[in-house]
Amino acid sequence: MNMQDVILGFLYEEPMSGYDIKQMMENSVSYFFDASFGAIYPALRKMEKEGLVEKQVIQQEGKPNKNLFAITEAGREQFQQYLNSPINPTVTRSDILIRIFFGRFTTKEKIIEWLEEEREKNQAMYNNLNRIDEMCGADMEHYKRFTLQFGIRQAEMVVNMIDEELKKLNEQGEQ
């Protein structure tokens, strides 16, 4: 999976601007695929050169022109090749897990601080994804909702594991 594959997937549904693609990513797949404008726009330029997308310039009064990108037949073929290719193994890169792995080189207080920070982030993600599910879940396409519910459960699992570890660390301090 790369940036081009994700962009082609969004454009498979409908033509979009780079800004629209970024907004769609933030509102749907950002908890498992993150992208910045600095990655989206170069990918779109490259894809246009390769004939995977076509750009239509839309004139706007009082605003800069809007570039609308649409997937081409070659883009559809490439996206289908991606969907039919073997799934890459999931690689989890986690700063907090690396730090905790080497936790013996710091203080228990520092580890508790990290865990509380990570818990707060995951609780916020859990709340946000649940809010999206409550607002849109019933109308959401089945497969999109599956990924949303996966994110909800993953955030919930992280919060629960951190709660368990914080409890253990706090009990150690009382002994």
Asked if residue 89 is part of any domain, the answer here is no
Domain with 19, as residue range(s), is: 3-84
Domains identified in the chain, total number: 2
160 sits in which H/E element: helix 142-174
> In terms of domains, do 80 and 99 share one?
no
Do residues 114 and 60 share a domain?
Answer: no
Distance from C-alpha of 33 to C-alpha of 18, rounded to nearest angstrom: 16
| pLDDT computed for residue 104 by the predictor | 95
Examine the domain organization and report whether 74 and 144 are in the same domain. no
Q: What pLDDT sits at residue 26?
A: 85
Q: Are residues 57 and 102 in the same domain?
A: no
Q: What is the largest CA-CA distance in the chain?
A: 70
Query: What are the b/e assignments for 16-36, b being 16+ CB within 10 Å?
Result: bbbebbbebbeebbebeeebe
Question: Domain of 33: which CATH number?
Answer: 1.10.10.10
What CA dihedral angle connects 45, 46, 49 and 54, to 10 degrees? -50
Q: At 122, is the pLDDT very low, low, confident or very high (cuts 50, 70, 90)?
A: very high
Shared domain check, 114 and 77: no
Other residues' Cβ atoms within 10 Å of the Cβ of residue 83: 11
Last residue of some domain: 32, 61, 84? 84
Are 137 and 164 members of one domain?
Answer: yes
For 31-63, write each residue's pLDDT tens digit: 787 777 788 999 999 999 999 999 999 998 999
* Inside any domain, residue 18: yes
| Residue 134 falls inside a structural domain | yes
Asked whether residue 175 carries a pLDDT value surpassing 60, the answer given is: no
Cα 31 versus chain centre, distance: 3
Instruction: Give tens-digit pLDDT for 66-83.
Output: 999 999 999 999 999 999
